Chain A
């Protein structure tokens, strides 16, 4: 069973369109994330939700809106797509530190390669 799964794997769309990427984790974690990886492989956090509450919101255009219907799901909606949004978007999950667990590493999905044309 896939621990963190995101769909779609590939997404090609035109500028100005609105698109969503879905993410689900079956690890029972309470924290989920969206990361963006650019063409130089640089990984940067965008958002994080803990138990459906937004806890990290980096400097991301407000065209990007995360939504967490429950703690196992974190979707990313992007409005008015721009060429510069082309990247690979990774969803991840972890168990928040302080819950008596030793490991707090994040488990990543396979990524969604978004290409805006």
Chain B
């Protein structure tokens, strides 16, 4: 399933399916992007990052794709598990300056058995 991260929408998937969470970022000058996972009652937790000189990066079960032309970022989760249920945020950092992260609105991922 796919979702655009506006106004905290919910993406519902079946356990074992692949999930795709999308994010439109705002600044073409951003040079660093991060996906965070936030479980209920906890702080955001780093999942994967990507720099603007790349268009794809893979981690364990997760892949981030960056399309700078349309300022779009996506997070793909393979073989989604119940433990993946959380709110997912993309964040961007402007080139230069200090490490100020600008967060997207978040997408809730609900994994059903």
Binding site for B on A (CB under 8 A): 4, 31, 40-45, 48, 50, 55-56, 90, 92, 94, 96-97, 103-111
Contact = CB atoms under 8 A, between A and B. Distances in A.
Interface of B: 7-8, 32, 34, 36, 38, 41-46, 49, 87, 89, 93, 98-103, 105-106
Nearest to B51: A102
Contact of B49 (A31, A55, A105): A105
Given A40-B8, A41-B87, A104-B93, A109 B43 contact: yes
A99 B98 CA distance: 12
A90 B43 contact: yes
B8 A106 contact: no
Contacts of A42: 103, 105-106
Nearest to A58: B100
Given A4-B43, A97-B99, 20 more contacts: A41-B105, A42-B105, A43-B89, A44-B103, A45-B100, A50-B98, A55-B98, A56-B98, A56-B100, A92-B43, A96-B98, A103-B49, A104-B32, A104-B99, A105-B49, A108-B43, A110-B41, A110-B42, A110-B43, A111-B41
A77 B91 CA distance: 26
Contact of A107 (B8, B41, B46, B103): B46
A111 B103 contact: no
